A and B are shown apart, each in its own frame.
Chain A
Amino acid sequence: MKRLVSMTVNGEEIELAIPPYRTLLDVLRNEGRLTGTKKGCDVGDCGACTVIMDGSPVNSCLVLGIEAEGATIETIEGQHAGPDLPHLIQEKFMDHGGAQCGFCTPGIIMMTKALLKENPNPTESEVRFAIAGNICRCTGYAKIVDAVLAAAEDLRKGRTL
């Protein structure tokens, strides 16, 4: 029943035996022990499970683990500037109060990373629409947008993602 699937997660190549019905989200959380990626709805409605797959942010709850064969996956656990140093985006989310209960935060940070990679100079409106698929029920939206814009500003000053 299980299939052998290999993928690169946060820079590390891994091989896992997974049943075809297990979603990438559940594979990361169970087999991968990477619980920073959250399950908020399991049907693609909330964005809490966002990971970057082959460079694009996706809802990992809508991807079957076996569809990720050969893919490169980035999760929140892989985001840091160095040993024990938070990533630029994480730093800005801390500074700007972008995390309240914190549950939607990993997904939003992954979404932000993908956005800024593609568009390091987004307008406020572009940010709001780019991360519209990530629901925050503490509704910290103003602070989240401030954090993203502050990260973009630092990028323009030469910091890197």
Chain B
Amino acid sequence: MRPFGFERPETLERAAGIVAAREDRAAPPPLSSAQFIAGGTNMADYMKLGVMRPNLLVDIGRLADPGLRRIAASPDGIRLGALVRMSEAEENADIRIGYPVIAESLQQAASQQIRNMASLGGNILQRTRCEYFRDISWACNKRDPGSGCAAMDGFNRQHAVLGVSDRCIATYHGDFAQALIALDASVETQSPRGGRTMAFSELHRLPGETPHVETQLMADELITLIDIPAKPWARRSHYLKIRDRQSYAFAVASVAVVLDLEDGAVRDVRIALGGLATVPWRAQEAEDELKGGPLDERTAGRAAEAAFAGAMPREHNAFKISLGRQALVRALLETRDMRV
């Protein structure tokens, strides 16, 4: 691991200020020479692999602001501090009962050990597990802009079929983010320029020409809060994760569904797909297909067709289109049949 400096500021303002004072403050966050760490699970991994080589770590894990660690449920919704550990959130009774899709997405992520360390804010920003990204001897536009993409014509079974560009087909591998998309969450951020709020679905950026720019955040900007509105569909919500082994594996395909049913008809539905796309992916075409009608295997199948109409497979991942469709059908039916 490359030697680096280490700072542990007391306040959020100070933490952001340290990064803002650096020469490369305008760099896209993944390329910045200063990196925030909270749980540190991703950063320690990337630094050992040489994928990220910051020369300063700013530890935000002990920032004093209690709001960063709070889970606050109210009739309007639930607000999750960015430093809440994944394991704390998955065990929270308000979340388990009121927003099951969140608890399910967290419980099926990583391992218990990692969930005990990892913060929600960090989890959202986790980078891809693309093998070509993780080994610095391969060409990778996301890691080294302009170097090319070895995955494009390489072994790309686990790669994305949605949201791809000719620069990058790396999958977004998180689980929690799909739940947030489905629940129509928003995030609050802080930087020396002040705070801002954005829809969670706006946070991540498609790879396009610049796969190394992964989110709307600036290098000195921190996620502080995740805000989830209380909506009629929050309770009837579900996360289905399909993987090659039963646990401790990334999704081959995953689906987050929130559903508002009235007399068997779909009043409202939101669907997010994971393991299939370059970013947390909202399947709006599938939602539109379902709204106002009955939900059964046939209508779910039509929605699934719509969800993958624009899919772009490579040599080894074409199966993800049929798997993704089937997973979507299964998730919709399982959500419909939930007892709430």
Contacts and interface: CB of A to CB of B under 8 A. Distances in A.
A43 B114 CA distance: 11
Give the residue among A21, A47, A115, A131 with the most B Cβ atoms within 10 A: A21
B164 to A, nearest CB: 26
B40 A67 contact: yes
Contacts of B113: 44, 47, 50, 57-59, 111, 133
Interface in A37-62: 42-44, 47, 50, 56-59, 61-62
Contact of B49 (A1, A43, A62, A66): A43
Contacts of A133: 110-114, 248
A127 to B, nearest CB: 11
Interface string B107-128: 0001111101100000000000
Contact of A21 (B1, B59, B110, B117): B1
B45 A132 contact: no
* Size category, A interface: 20 to 34
A5 to B, nearest CB: 11
A129 B246 CA distance: 9
B216 interface: no
Interface string A66-94: 11000000000000000000000000000
Nearest to A22: B1
Contacts, number: 79
Contacts of A161: none
B51 to A, nearest CB: 11
Interface string B2-26: 1111100000000000000000000
B130 interface: no
A19 B47 CA distance: 15
B247 interface: yes
A122 to B, nearest CB: 12
Given A19-B3, A23-B44, A67 B61 contact: yes
A93 B61 CA distance: 36
A132 B2 contact: no
Nearest to A49: B113
Interface in A1-54: 1, 3, 19-21, 23, 42-44, 47, 50
Given A19-B3, A21-B3, A130 B112 contact: yes
A150 interface: no
Contacts of A57: 112-113, 116
Nearest to B44: A62
B57 interface: yes
A62 B87 contact: no
Interface in B105-157: 110-114, 116-117
Give the residue among B2, B47, B113 with the most A Cβ atoms within 10 A: B113
B54 to A, nearest CB: 11
Contact of B6 (A20, A50, A131, A134): A20
B316 interface: no
B3 A1 contact: yes
A43 B4 CA distance: 19
Given A57-B113, A58-B117, 14 more contacts: A20-B4, A20-B6, A21-B1, A42-B48, A43-B49, A44-B41, A59-B117, A62-B45, A67-B40, A67-B59, A128-B247, A130-B112, A132-B112, A132-B247
Interface of A: 1, 3, 19-21, 23, 42-44, 47, 50, 56-59, 61-64, 66-67, 111, 115, 128-134
The 3 closest A-B pairs by CB, nearest first: A133-B111, A132-B247, A56-B116
